[in-house]
Structure 1
C-alpha cells in the first residue's frame, strides 16, 4: 500500500477544491496522489499531466499534478455551483472508491461537496458524503473522527438537533462507536492499546443525577462492559475539563456525545489544520475539515492547510495498515 498513490476527488468544482488541490500539490511534491475530475475545472495555469491509471502517477514530475480525467457536463464558475455538474461530482467519488477497493490506490481523500447541489442536480439520496461512502463500501455503521496534532475526537451523535441527542444516545450506538474507534486506533494509528476518554452528556457528567440521568444509566454501564473486555477506557468525564493540555496527555482519543461537544475543542485548537477521518470503512478515507466555501472560491484566498494535513494523514494511515 505504501507504494501506491492516494486518490483525491474533485469535490464541487465551483468551490475551493480545485484551488486547494493545486496548492497542495505545490506543497507536497514528494507525496504521491492524483486528482479525479475535469482538467478544465482546475485554476488557470495549473501544470497538469493526464494519466490513464493510478500506476502512472508516480512517474509524473513533481512540478505537475497527476490528473485522471473525468469529463463533466458543464464548465465550472467559481462560487456558482452548476446542477449539471452534480453527476460528475458523484462519479468522481464512485471512481475513487472503486480504485481504492481494487487496490490501485492506497487511500481516499475527498474534496468538499455541497449536498444540496447534488440533491437538486442528480437526486443524491444520501444525507452526506460519509453515508454515500458507507453505501459504496457496503457497511452499515461508520464513525466520524476529527484529528489534528493536538487532539483526536469522535462525536457519538453528529448532525442532529441538540434536543434529539438524549433519545439518539443508545447503549448500542455508544458501544459500536467505541469499538470502531478502538479498532481504528489500533489498525490505522498503530496504537496497540489505545487510551479512550469518554465524556458525559450532561454538565459535570450528571453530577450524581442532579443534572441528568443519562451519564449513570446509559454511558457508565457501557464503559464498564468494555473495560471488562480489556479496553483502556475512562469516563464519563465532565466535558468542560477534558480538553485542556493536561487532560489531553492522559488519552489518545476523546469520545464526545454530540457534535459541538466534539468539534468546538478541535476547531479552537487547530481551525485550519483539522482533518475529518471516516472510521469503519474497509479503506482509508480522509477529508479537509471544511466545506466548499463558495464565497471565496476563485479569489486565491483559500487555505490549503486542512487538505495538506488530510493527504499527509492518509499516507500515514496507509503505512500503519501495511
Structure 2
C-alpha cells in the first residue's frame, strides 16, 4: 500500500517570501507523509533558515535526486539547487530569488516529464522578481504551459463548495474582452468537463458566466458580446453532450454554485473568478493548472513579503494544495 503514495515535488517559490515557511509548516504534519511522498525542490539553507524562524524540530536533508529521498516525517528532503545566499533579505524583490524560483519550477517540470514525480505543488513566486531575474512570464501557469508544450490550458481555483475555471487571467480588462472568443470559451468548457470527469464526477454540471452585467440582458448592456463570444461555445458543447448552461449573470451564479446548483463555474476574466473564491478565505483556495500533461497545484496567495521571516504565515492553503495534488495525481 505504501508504494501507491504519489511522489509530490514541492517547489520553494521565491526564497524571500513566505514559501519556505509554509512548506516547513506543512511538512510538520504527519498526515502529509501518510498520504504522499513529498520532497522540496529549492535551497536547503533557505529551508533551514525558515525552520529556525519557526523554531521547528524538523531536519532539512540535501539530496541530488528524488530516489535519494527517505520520505520520513521529521526529515524534509530537499533537492538542493543551491542558488541563493544564506542571508537573502526577507521581503525584498531580488533578481536572484526570481531566477531561482524559475529554476526550481523548471527542474520540477523536467522530473514530472521524466515520470520521476507524480505531481508538482508550488509555493508562490513574485512576478516582479521573476522579471528582474530575466524570465518574462506573467506567472507560473505560462511557464508550465511553455515548458510542457501545452497550447490549451486554464487556471482553475478550487475551494470548498466552489470551483472556478478561467477563460482569461493575467491581462487587463479591455484586453480580456478582446481575447474572449467562441473557440477559447469552448476549449475552457471542455477542460472543465474533462478535469472533473478525471476527478470522479460522472457528468459535471458546468455554468458559464456572462461578460456583461446580467449577462447582457438580451443586448441591454454591452455590444452583443454574449451572443457573439459565449453562446456559440455553450451550444457547441451542449451538442456534444456536455452538461453546460449559460451565459448566466455572474452576480448570482457564484452564490448558486456554493449552494450546490453547479459543480464548476467558467469565469470570463481574472477578478470575476478570483473575487468570489477569495471571499471564501485565502487559506481555503487552491490554484490548479488544467490542460497540462502533469498535475500542478499551488497555494492561491502571493509571496506576502510584508510578513516573510516572521513565522506567522498560514500554511492551510499549502496543505490544501498538497491534498489536491494527491487527489489528482495519477495512481501508481
Fold agreement, TM-score > 0.5: yes
- What is aligned with 1:232? 243
Whether 1:116 aligns to 2:121 is no
- What is aligned with 2:147? 136
- Of residues 210, 220, 223 in structure 1, which corresponds to 2:220? 210
Measure the CA separation in 1 of the matches of 2:22 and 2:39: 13
1:150–1:269 Cα contact (<8 Å) kept: no
Instruction: Give the C-alpha shift of residue 247 in structure 1.
Output: 6.2
Measure the CA separation in 2 of the matches of 1:242 and 1:106: 34
- What is aligned with 2:158? 147
After superposition, the C-alpha distances for 1:98-122 in whole angstroms (9 at most, x for unaligned) are 111111111001111112212213x
- What is aligned with 1:55? 67
1:144–1:154 Cα contact (<8 Å) kept: yes
- What is aligned with 1:199? 209
1:1-20 to structure 2, matched below 5 A, reads 2-20=4-22
Whether 1:38 aligns to 2:43 is yes
- What is aligned with 2:109? 97
1:1-322 to structure 2, matched below 5 A, reads 2-27=4-29, 28-30=32-34, 31-42=36-47, 43=50, 44=52, 46-57=58-69, 59-75=70-86, 76-121=88-133, 123-187=134-198, 189-212=199-222, 213-244=224-255, 248-319=259-330
Instruction: Give the C-alpha shift of residue 268 in structure 1.
Output: 0.9
- Displaced runs of 4+ in structure 1, greater than 6 A? none
After superposition, the C-alpha distances for 1:168-216 in whole angstroms (9 at most, x for unaligned) are 21111111111122111122x1223211111111111111111131122
Unaligned runs of at least 5 residues, structure 2: none
191 and 56 in structure 1: CA distance in 2 versus 1, 3 angstrom threshold: farther
Range moving further from structure 2, 139-148 or 40-49 = 40-49
271 and 89 in structure 1: CA distance in 2 versus 1, 3 angstrom threshold: closer
Instruction: Give the C-alpha shift of residue 131 in structure 1.
Output: 0.7
Measure the CA separation in 2 of the matches of 1:23 and 1:14: 16
After superposition, the C-alpha distances for 1:84-106 in whole angstroms (9 at most, x for unaligned) are 34332222111111111111111
Range moving further from structure 2, 70-79 or 32-41 = 70-79
Unaligned runs of at least 5 residues, structure 1: none
Measure the CA separation in 2 of the matches of 1:202 and 1:37: 43
2:256–2:262 Cα contact (<8 Å) kept: no
Aligned to 1:209, the other structure's residue is in SS state: coil
After superposition, the C-alpha distances for 1:216-266 in whole angstroms (9 at most, x for unaligned) are 232112111110011110111111111225764121111111111111111
1:201–1:257 Cα contact (<8 Å) kept: yes
Instruction: Give the C-alpha shift of residue 83 in structure 1.
Output: 2.1
What's the TM-score once normalised by structure 2's chain length? Answer: 0.90
2:33–2:73 Cα contact (<8 Å) kept: yes
